[in-house]
Chains A and B, each alone.
Chain A
Amino acid sequence: MSDARIEAYAHAIVEIAEAEGNLAVVENELFRVARAVESSDQLRATLTDETIPAVRRQAVVEALLGSASNTTTQLVGMVIGSGRGRDLPAIIDKVVKRAASSQGKEVAEVRSAVELTADQQARLAAALERATGKQVNLKVVVDPSILGGVVATVGDTVIDGSVRSRLDQVKSRL
């Protein structure tokens, strides 16, 4: 799908969420959905399989989102139902960026091998704001593949403090 179409979907979702008055909740839930779709080949294959009826794919989304808000469930169902499941992560990333920029913030995607506590998230957001000079909207993704530590991405800046990268450096040095 073209960038313009992705932008159009993202714009529509942000407008609907703002109209519903729960943009912050929706963009958080959407972010988790996007990461779930990215990390699961089976889920991605199911949502993008044109041979599976759209109604059934929407049912999968509803089952997946279980405790999510109705707005989130309906918005994801709308994207899947219109046959744009393949572009769902890209659309959601645009939604998150739009939501952050509407608040004058930059999205800070943080990957950690374990869950971060609320205190750690707050201190990390503050540290990233000091380091980048930007207000950040922290998005935490639990990613066991990095083994340990944290990888933070703010715009084009990547701060990699993961054990995985250290091991890769050792491996390349070897």
Chain B
Amino acid sequence: MRLLSLIAAEDPTQTHHWLLPETAEIIYGGLAFLIVATGLWKFALPEMKKALAARSAKIGDQLKNAADTRAAAEAEATSIRQAIGDISGERARLLAEADSQAAAILAEGRARVSAEIADLEAKADADIAASRSRSSDELRAEIAQLAAVAANSAVSASLTPGTQQDLIEGFINGVGAAR
């Protein structure tokens, strides 16, 4: 009551110093400050520390996750790089194998074509030889035929009655002399 009457009795316009408040006010203010500071220190500070620790832990977790993710990504990148390297090697191997197979096929094809050409040439040579021989035989037969016809004509023309009689007499004499 007394305090209330003092506050009510005090005139605000009548201060003892232009800068500093009244002593009582300093006291009251100081006490209120201490109460508030104590309340804050006792109740708010632990909660703030707790929240800060939780946040720190959360950030730590996030950093750890980020580090893990980064490590995984780097591992994946390494794996991909390795896979790319493997693909390049496989590609090179496949290309080399394809080149080798193509060379083998080409060589085989060349050998086969060469063999076929050789066979064809041999067959052509044989055909030419056979054709030459056949032509020669045909020519010989033709000549023989012509010669036979010519001989036939010549002999027939020369077979006069006198010749016929000579042939008959020659046959009779020859048969008679045979034994």
A-side residues, CB < 8 A to B, are 112-114, 116, 120, 123-124, 126-128, 130-131, 133, 147-150, 152, 159, 161, 163, 167, 170-171, 174
Contact = CB atoms under 8 A, between A and B. Distances in A.
Interface residues of B, number: 26
4 nearest A-B residue pairs (beta carbon): A127-B176, A174-B144, A171-B148, A161-B171
A114 B164 CA distance: 7
B168 interface: yes
Interface string B32-67: 000000000000000000000000000000000000
Contacts, number: 77
A150 B167 contact: yes
- Interface of B, secondary structure class, is helix
B177 to A, nearest CB: 8
Interface of B: 143-145, 147-148, 151-152, 155-156, 159, 161, 163-165, 167-176, 178-179
B171 A114 contact: no
A164 to B, nearest CB: 9
23 contacts: A113-B164, A114-B161, A114-B164, A120-B168, A123-B176, A124-B175, A127-B175, A131-B176, A131-B178, A147-B152, A149-B167, A150-B167, A150-B168, A152-B175, A161-B170, A161-B174, A163-B155, A167-B152, A171-B145, A171-B151, A174-B143, A174-B144, A174-B147
